[in-house]
Amino acid sequence: MLGFIVNPVSGNGRGAMVWKQLEEELRQRNVAYLVRKTSMAGEAKQLAVDVLQNGSVTGIVAVGGDGTVNEVVNGIHESQVACAFGHIPAGSGNDFARGHNLPRDPLQALEKILQGNVTKTIDVLQLNGMVAINSVGAGLDGQVAVTANRARYKRWLNKIKLGVLAYFLAVVRVLLTYKPCSVTVVIDDRQETLENVWLIAVANISSYGGGMQICPDAVPDDGRADICVVSHASRWSLLRAFPLIYTGKHVHHPAARFFRGSTITIQSERPMVVHADGEMAGVTPITVNVARRRLTILS
């Protein structure tokens, strides 16, 4: 039996509309299921834990955006119960769906989940007692994630189906005032000390922030994370180069350096805000460990 965790307010109410479609389809097909709906931020994790206490649940489906995905996967991680994970996108960014080529149409996504014959096992990123499955970021992108999630214009943009622009506007807003700092990064046994660091992104898939191709070559099941470090650049040169990130062409910019590794430690001269899948996850110093092929997803 499948358990569904639904965030009704994701995508400015799209979650509720998507669930209405799904529920009607499930009933018409006489599919047995459990459903729990969130009523506040952060609740999806505990709901996933509660659903997994039902011994007949073999898979959990998150209906919402990347924040809901993160919470549900953390619930699976905390419960230590083996189960498959499915996702039906209903958020503004939907990077997990993009990164794994999941259908955007709710009924098509449900059909693939119900078939259950296509699965893959992916890595997860472990940090601070939690996990991320898309990316972890420190510095400017951590501050951007916090700013975008709090912005009033995000809800308005979601209403007109332009929610991804919230991240773009947040980047411009934060970049105008953010101050880079010195950072030491240890990737496996290699240490890099860098000055004037704007951000460090640790990626399990290619995109974050609603389609920004931060690490275009990231592979979610190779046991390694791709790391992008942006440093030694002026504020205005970054603003001019920023559009390149949507096509991945920033990889040729002299301010961007790329690494791969399975254990990444980030220390900075002053605390840098850290995000995990776009949600606030503390400040530096942090260590991110790649747990290889830890989560089975229905794709």
SS3 159: helix
Same structural domain for residues 67 and 99?
Answer: yes
**Domain contains 96:** yes
pLDDT at 11: 84
Same structural domain for residues 144 and 242?
Answer: yes
**Domain contains 11:** yes
pLDDT at 93 over 70: yes
pLDDT tens column, 109-150: 999 999 887 789 999 999 989 999 999 999 988 887 777 666
Same structural domain for residues 112 and 167?
Answer: no
Cβ neighbour number for residue 152 with a 10 Å cutoff:
8
Residue range of the domain that includes 181: 135-292
pLDDT tens column, 166-185: 667 777 787 888 899 999 99
What CATH number is given to the structural domain containing 229?
A: 2.60.200.40
Q: What is the mean pLDDT of residues 2-16?
A: 93
Tokens for 265, please give them. Answer: 């430690």
239 pLDDT tier (thresholds 50, 70, 90) = confident
**Domain contains 298:** no
Same structural domain for residues 162 and 194?
Answer: yes
Same structural domain for residues 103 and 144?
Answer: no
Question: Of 90, 117, 144, which residue is a domain's last?
Answer: 117
pLDDT at 158 over 60: no
pLDDT at 56 over 90: no
CA dihedral 282, 214, 224, 187 (to 10 degrees): -60
Q: Are 280 and 151 in contact (CB under 8 A)?
A: no
CA distances from residue 150 to 14, 159, 234, 260 in whole angstroms, order as listed: 18, 16, 27, 32
Give CA angle at 295 (76, 103), nearest 5°: 100
pLDDT at 154 over 90: no
Same structural domain for residues 26 and 108?
Answer: yes
pLDDT at 254: 94
**Domain contains 124:** no
Contacts of 201 (CB under 8 A, 6+ apart): 135, 136, 137, 141, 208, 214, 215, 227, 228
